[in-house]
Structure 1
Amino acid sequence: MRYLIFGMGAIGTYIGGSLTLSGESVIYLERPEVAGRFSQQPLSIEIKGVEYTFTPEEISDSLKQVFNQYPIDVVIVAVKSFDTPTVAGHLKPYREQISAVLSLQNGVENEVVLAEFLGNERVIAGTLTSAVAKKETGRVVLEKKRGVGIASGQPLSKEIVDSFNRAGLNARLYPHAGEMKWSKLLTNLLANATSAILDLSPAEIFSHPLLFKIETEQVREAVRVMKKLGYRVVDLPGTPVRLLSFLFHSVPAGIARRIAGKTLAAGRGGKMPSFHVDLYRGYRPLEVDYLNGAVVRFGERVGVATPVNHFLNQTLLSIAESPIELNIYRKNPEKFIEDVSRIVRIF
């Protein structure tokens, strides 16, 4: 199969590199300066301390040239959610040449945007649970291999899963795209917005009884929205999401907090969540409105209150628009807890 991948970020480089090393054809679309820099330079993936170099079929800066020169089987979209409309708009003139578009993005709304531009019959929902870090453009390290979820129902879904598995990506078919994407969303919410707002690590958040209650309610709100939508929580490759949901719903808070500290926080290996990384490196915009904000929007549609997700979303969006030093919640969990308690009774 021949894949066209938008961007050489962490996910794109990992997926494209794995596919290339297994013998598949991979083309990257990148900015002119990046495409020119890597035209004669190999890319690399580090797995268990071993660096594997690879050279894709092409790194191009011209979508027109790619579609004029190559038949493309699958387009992989792994950009941030706020870039999805732009990518979809670029692809629209070539929609008749596209058989399938696989979204490996976080969030639950990207496939809708892609379908509006390209047709629902071409769009395949996907999710990556493996942890991948970007050393620099074109060089990534696989921190924790878990796998890839791909929704069934599209003619190429099974073929993509087989192709991914030949590449060692541990791919699995899911019969319900909504359940798969929302289950991944639950994992993306944990100690993500809170960590950025407070400038605290997940371990610090989970060790604080009241902050842990806020995390618990955030997850519970999202699960209530899922249930109203008719979605079940499902396990993802290497990720027991049902056990996670059980932890936040049925296990006594004190025990749940200790388990979360030992497993969820410790499993990050000291790495800060994505919102914290992006906020303090000055990357804008943030994806919070596509995660916590999505919970709020869907909650409004189905009549489920989501005050904690709303507070986290609006607060982090506000912080991102102002100088960091004006953040009144930074290293100040007491003020944060006080303000959350004004909008929802969870303490």
Structure 2
Amino acid sequence: MNIAIFGAGSTGCYLAGQLCISELQVSLICRPAIKQKIIANNGITLTDYNGFKQTIMPQALITDINQESSIYGKFDVVFVTLKCHQVSSIANQLMAITHDNSSIIFMQNGLGSFDSIKDSLDHYSLLQGITPFNVLQLPNAVFHKGTEGVFTLQANPHTIAIQSALVNHGFGCDIEADFTPMIYGKLLLNLNNALNAVTDLPIKQQLSHYKNRRILAKAMKEWLAVCEAADIQLHQYTKVKPSWLPTILLLPNVLFTVLAKQMLDIDPKARSSMWEDIQAKRKTEVDYINGAVVSIGKKYGIKTPVNQAIVEQIKQLEQRH
């Protein structure tokens, strides 16, 4: 398999690193700044909250698809790890670097970006994937996995082969056939991305404050109400049912701390990707996360004032930065 990671930022580089370590042939399509960092540091270094550390160099680092794609041929699998708002404009580029039997796997947070492009690529095998853990980009091309979880991919022959390679090299990878519960369930957890950016604290520290957890619990309750109205079951990513998460968040600090340790391992350094975007003065994905709660809520007549307020706070931060 000739694999490309299209739009290799934090998540894309972590995925690329795992695939390379698993002896798969991987090229990165990335910004020049990422390419320079990787070359300067002799590869991508993966670390995690359990002490894992390994450096690996991808097969190729591509910054100009038009000029360089002919050198590396067509790709059998392309993982699209761009931000949501960048997806709708890349159909022609994806067609240029793939063939009729290629699989294109969209790894975006939130809802809406997949729908924005799928009709333009309807003759391809289009799949979705999820990164149910946090990746923080550190200096020297180091990408740190700060919470537990494994890449989760929609089932087809390519992804099953990728899962086999990852598992054989000590990495987890889940394969699912029905991805709607996966995407909607992941959105429930992603509702904290914006709040983490607003508080400007590491996730673990942010969640240690009852006031912050209370806001998150209210945001989650709104999404749970929307999903109930839409009759959509949510995949369970933590050790408790999605519907119980708001109740646990509202527990007193002492009880929450005990339960949180059992529910999900979080590194003290972990921060959300939206926090990274705000710090880097980039446009965020809030419209596809908290904004999706608001827009789908309107469709089903469910009020979502907390998520609406969070969207507005992020828009203010985007303008300030």
Normalising by the residue count of structure 2, what TM-score does the alignment of the two structures yield? 0.83
Give the equivalent residue in structure 1 for 2:88: 85
Q: Within 5 Å, which residues of 2 pair with 1:1-347?
A: 1-32=1-32, 34-35=34-35, 38=38, 41-47=42-48, 48-49=50-51, 51-64=53-66, 65-66=68-69, 69-94=72-97, 96-97=99-100, 99-119=102-122, 121-136=124-139, 138-152=141-155, 154-190=156-192, 192-199=193-200, 206=207, 209=210, 211-236=212-237, 239-240=238-239, 242-249=240-247, 253-255=250-252, 258-262=254-258, 263=260, 267-279=266-278, 281-322=279-320
- Are residues 211 and 139 of structure 1, via their aligned partners in 2, closer, same or farther at CA, if it must alter by over 3 Å? closer
Deviations 1:283-322 (A, max 9, x none): 2212222210111122222332212111111222123213
TM-aligned CA distance change 1:297 to 1:92, over 3 Å = farther
Report 1 or 2 for greater relative contact order, CA contacts < 8 Å, sequence distance ≥ 6.
2
Aligned residue type for 2:27:
I
5+ residue gaps in structure 2? none
Amino acid at match of 1:56: P
Partners of 1:70 and 1:215 lie apart in 2 by 46
Q: Normalising to structure 1: TM-score of the pair?
A: 0.77
How far apart, in 2, do the equivalents of 1:100 and 1:123 lie?
6
Name the structure with the higher helix share. Answer: 1
State how many pairs are aligned: 315
Letter in 2 for 1:278: D
Q: Deviations over 1:246-269 (max 9, x none)?
A: 1325x69435x6544452798341
Moved over 6 A (4+): none
Which structure 1 residue ranges, 5 or more long, are not aligned? Answer: 324-347
AA aligned to 2:226 is V
CA contact (8 A) 1:111 1:124 kept: no
Amino acid at match of 2:274: F
Contact 1:8–1:137 (CA<8 Å) still a contact in 2? no
Q: Tell me, in whole angstroms, the C-alpha distance in 2 between the residues paired with 1:146 and 1:204.
A: 20
In the TM superposition, what whole-angstrom CA distance separates every residue of 1:38-95 from its partner, at most 9, and x where no partner exists? 5684332235545422222211223243256424111011122222223344214445
SS of alignment partner, residue 102 of structure 1 = strand
Matched letter for residue 159 of structure 1? A
Q: What amino acid is the match of 1:232?
A: Q
Of 86-95 and 70-79, the range deviating more from structure 2: 86-95
CA gap of 1:89–1:170, structure 2 versus 1, over 3 A, is same
Question: Kindly tell me: are residues 137 and 115 of structure 1, through their superposed partners in 2, closer, same or farther at Cα, counting changes over 3 Å?
Answer: farther
Structure 1 CA distance for aligned equivalents of residues 24 and 269 of structure 2: 35
Give me the whole-angstrom Cα distance separating, in 2, the residues matched to 1:134 and 1:253: 31
- Partners of 2:106 and 2:114 within 8 A in 1: yes
Aligned partner of 1:4: which letter?
Answer: A
2:174 partner amino acid: R
Task: Please say if residues 108 and 178 of structure 1, whose CA atoms lie closer than 8 Å, have aligned partners that are also in contact.
Answer: no
Q: 1:320 to 1:75 in 2, by over 3 A?
A: same
Whichever residue aligns with residue 148 of structure 1, its letter is: F
The letter for the 2-side match of 1:254 is: L
Conserved 8 A contact 2:84-2:285: yes
Give 1:205 shift: 5.6
C-alpha distance 143-303 of structure 1, shift in aligned 2 (>3 A): same
> Does the CA-based 8 Å contact 2:101-2:124 persist in structure 1?
no
- Cα deviation digits, residues 214-261 of structure 1 (max 9, x gap): 32120011112222333212123xx33x43531325x69435x65444
Q: Is the partner of 2:149 in helix, strand or coil?
A: coil
Q: Which has the larger radius of gyration?
A: 1
Counterpart code for 1:27: S
Structure 2: distance between partners of 1:284 and 1:36: 20
**1:32/1:49 Cα in 2 relative to 1: closer, same or farther (>3 Å)?**
same
Deviations 1:89-125 (A, max 9, x none): 4214445446111122211223223313322752211
SS at match of 1:112: coil
- CA deviation after TM superposition for structure 1 residue 6, in Å: 1.6
Does the 8 Å contact 2:134/2:273 carry over to 1?
A: no
